[in-house]
Each structure stands twice: as C-alpha cells, then as structure tokens.
Amino acid sequence: MGIQPRSLFLAPIALLCSCSDPTSQPPATAPPPAVVPGAITPMTPVAAAISLGATPLAIDEHGIPRLLRGDTAMRMRAPDVATAARMHVQRLAPAWGVRSAATPALESLGEAPLVGGTIVRLRQVIDGMPVDESSGGEVHVLVGSDGSLVAASGKLVGTDAPRSTGVKFLDDESSAIARAVSDAYKVPVSSGALVMKAAAADGSRMLAGQSGQINVSLARARQAWFPTGDVLIPAWVVEAYASDMSTTSGDAFRTVIAADDGRILSRTNLTADAAFTYRVFAEPTGELHPFDGPIADVTPNATGVPNTTPYPAFVLPNLVTVDGLNHPFTGGPADPWLAAGRTDWGAAGGPAN
C-alpha cells in the first residue's frame, strides 16, 4: 500500500473519560486495571515527532510519519550540512518508531543546494550493508542555511530490526544478474557471458554480454538489506537493461534476489510508458503550457497595452493527456513519472476521469 496522507490539526486534544455514579460499585468480573507506579506508556511515532518539535505532514498505513516539517528552532551546530542532517535524523529517530540508540549508520550520498537550504541524501547502513534505497533505505533531509531542519522525508530502519547473522550469498555478482535475466525471459542465461563494461560512481561494476538470444546491454548487482515487513532479508538488487534478440524492443527491470537460496523476492518493470489524463488549467495541445490559474490566460500581453479588464473571466480546466514533457519537441521518447499500473499519486491526487 502507498502512503496515505492524513491531515493533522494542531488543536487541543480532548481526553474523553467515562463518568459514573460515585456510589456505584464496579462488577466483580471487571476490576479496574492495575496502575504500575512509574510505568510510562510508549509514545506513538506521531506523538514523538510532535514532542520533538516536528510536524508530521504524511503518515503511512503503519502510523509512521514519512514527511516531517521542521522549525527554525530545530538548529544544529555542525561543521557541514551533511553532519547537521545526520544529527537531525539521530534526534528525530523516535518519530520513525526507532530508538535513538538503534539509529543506523548514515552515509551521505549527495547534496542538492536550493533556495533556502540544502537537500542531503542519507543512506542507511546496518552491519556494513546498505538498506535497499528503493525499499525505503534513504532519508532525505532539507537543512536550512543556519543548520535548522526545514523538512525530512523517508523512513528509518532500526539496527534492532530482525535479520540474519553471518550473511552468506549463494550467488556472486554475475550469477545474480544471470539469475535475474533468466527469470525475466524464462530462458537460461550464462553468467560466463557477462563481462565488465564500466564502473558506476558508487563503485559497482556494470556488466554486459549476450547469452543465446538474450542480450544484456548493461546491468549491475548490489548487495543490500531488503525490508519485508519488520524483517531485513540480505539480497542482491539487480538492475538490468536487456532484450530478446527475437523482438525489436528492450526491457529495463529491477529484480531483488534472496541471498541464501536465490528466490526472487520482487521484480519491477522500470519502463513506464503509459500516458495519463489529468484535468488541469492548461492548454490541451501544443506545448501544454499552464494557465495563470482558473482564469482566462492573459500572460503575456502581446499588445503591450495594459489589460483594461480588471478581473479575467473564469474558465473550465481541460483534460490533458501527457506522458512526459522532458522531450517536448525533439522527437525523443517521453520520460513519464508514473508507472503504467498506478491509480493514485499520493498527496497530489490522481489522474482525472
């Protein structure tokens, strides 16, 4: 299930108590619960986030905040922005249901400066192995120029999560790729046909080769923890571009393979080419440029004469079908941002109908 945003109204919380006649006696079969002196009721992740000064803006189906808004008062003194981001995550660990002592190692993968701060990508590492990024292994932190927390997204995986010890991988790198491609095309693929073509920025090797009718144009395999529920499974994460020589089109897919027995844990088609239709205030043809708003489009004023109409007329939105706008007029393929099977798009809403 995807993340379902829920509105959180910061209003006084009313505690509802049942009232009874003080002279009445409770039935013998239902004694009042015993009160343990000094006992503390564990806080929910949402309550923990609020107590730490953060505002949950999106919560998943398990009650874990996936998007937190910070405050200028949440400031960290650190030598660099990546360290400040790690300090914020460490402090906010209870907001993700993780004990501060169980916070995983956080490796900075990159920074994206923007107006008002810097976004830091943090990879979670447990027992020296990263958590699969596509399964929630990254936390993104927007740190203000003064070290304050602007926002944080993602989820945290605690080092106390159930997992195997003494991890052993059945396959090596090329065998994992061959297993993934074989599963995708249902024909045997030889790992010996794969040779190194390049090295990725993270140090992983890019392999390629042809085995029978299957051509692997580029693929890589990385070891990672794959979360399934509350359990971490050691796995190979394989990303491959391949094709069946008997067809004209290629495929891009991502396969997760269990380390111990080679079973396929998941396979995702990375090619998303389905067009979607949205009801928006924009032109339905051509460059599909958006209107100024729910009004007649009056910008730019080509005549150079000030518009004498004080309030442009309201207009209806148009149904616009679009796959991607990153290659609007070059003739190249569009790059869609929704997978073909999606029926909703989280906090933003959903395709029009």
In sequence order, the 6+-apart residues with CB closer than 8 A to the CB of 336 are 272, 273, 274, 275, 276, 323, 324
In a domain, 13, yes or no: no
* Span 157-197, pLDDT tens digits: 999 999 988 889 999 999 999 999 999 999 999 999 999 99
* Span 231-276, pLDDT tens digits: 999 999 999 999 998 876 789 999 999 999 999 999 998 876 566 7
pLDDT reading at 112 higher than 60: yes
Q: Name the domain count of the chain.
A: 3
Q: How many CB atoms lie within 10 A of CB 178?
A: 28
Same-domain status, 286 and 263? no
In a domain, 37, yes or no: no
Same-domain status, 50 and 145? yes
Same-domain status, 73 and 136? yes
How deeply is 311 buried, as exposed, middle or buried, from its count of CB atoms within 10 A (0-12, 13-18, 19+)?
exposed
Same-domain status, 282 and 261? no
- Percent of the chain scoring above 70 in pLDDT: 75
Cis omega (within 30 of 0) for bond into 300: yes
Q: How many CB atoms lie within 10 A of CB 305?
A: 7
In a domain, 166, yes or no: no
Q: Where in the sequence is the domain holding 210, given as residue range(s)? A: 173-269
